A = this chain, B = another copy of it.
Amino acid sequence: MADTAGAEKERDALRAAHLYYLQDLTMEAIATELHTSRSSVSRLLGYARDTGLVEIQVKSPLDRLSSLQERIRVKHGVTAHVVPVPDSTAEVDRLERVAMSAARILGPFFDSNMTMGIAWGSTLSAVSRHLQEKVTHNSQIVQLNGASNARTTGIGYASEIMSRFGTAFGAYVQQFPVPAFFDDPRTKEVLWRERSIRRVLEIQKHMDIALFGLGSAYADVPSHVYVGGYLDDDDFQQLGRSQVVGDVATVFYRADGSSEDIPMNARSSGPSLEWLRKVSRRVCVVSGRSKLPALRGALAAGVMTDLIIDETTAHSLLED
């Protein structure tokens, strides 16, 4: 009966949604038709929205789309999705708002039979909290880089993000149970030959979408990797020597976008940039001007095809 009840709720929600969004009836009127109270209808509609029965899209008229987006496309060759946010907004709110927009923009990108790879970090965490449900079939979410370190397994944090994505899309979740960074690159080499690991790498290789934020040591809110105990002093010095400006899924790069000969990368569990660039859609979420250097580097590296970014930072990006 539990199943039947659930199905009934969905039926009602669907009917309510149809009456509300397609026929412009008031909730009061819908309540009458459904023989229930107005408040229940309000709740049904809420359910219908959360659950993806209703999809709301905001579309820039393709012609005169925000000149900002157009200019970013011309200058950097990526599709930008600029999130309007007042300049005065505090960093946290800004991230929250970009994340919410990102979550909704993402919906149409992902569908049945697809595989999406996701990194983890404060940005992705925020995005995961705002996802709307969308049922898909035969789809999976795969973790791009390990999350455990010397101090914690990091699993709670990363897997929480993963599972939120999984449930939102009804997708199978493939975790990647390895440390973010190996102490010894040889350990990685060896482990990478294990079948259980190769299976995950194989899935990563076939992903249709990659989703990631940018790590930056200079960020106002320094990225999770830089404060979570993943790196020690030596590591930081090494990164400095390599002139690193940021990272994507724990893989570091320089201002010119190069990532070769950065020793840390040999120990990183993330996918090499070269590898990443083979994914057909690569979505990067960025919020806050302090990530600008990291963003410029990432653009130079050509790791993204889509950029979801707050307005202020987008403006700064175009300066000089």
Contacts and interface: CB of A to CB of B under 8 A. Distances in A.
Contacts of A23: 83, 97, 100-101
Interface in A1-58: 7, 10-11, 14-15, 17-19, 21-24, 33, 48, 52-58
Given A10-B61, A23-B100, A83 B53 contact: no
Given A64-B7, A84-B15, A86-B33, A21 B53 contact: no
Contacts of A56: 21, 54-57
A59 B55 contact: yes
A17 B60 CA distance: 10
A203 interface: no
Interface residues of A, number: 36
Given A22-B101, A23-B101, A84-B18, A54 B61 contact: no
Number of copies: 2
A58 B18 contact: yes
24 contacts: A14-B60, A15-B84, A17-B58, A19-B84, A21-B56, A21-B104, A22-B83, A22-B100, A22-B101, A22-B104, A22-B105, A23-B83, A23-B97, A24-B100, A33-B84, A48-B58, A53-B58, A53-B60, A54-B58, A54-B59, A55-B57, A56-B56, A61-B135, A63-B135
The 8 closest A-B pairs by CB, nearest first: A22-B101, A55-B57, A17-B58, A15-B84, A22-B104, A56-B56, A21-B56, A23-B97
Given A18-B83, A55-B58, 18 more contacts: A7-B64, A14-B60, A15-B84, A18-B58, A19-B84, A21-B56, A22-B104, A23-B97, A23-B101, A33-B86, A53-B58, A53-B59, A53-B60, A53-B61, A54-B57, A54-B58, A54-B59, A61-B135
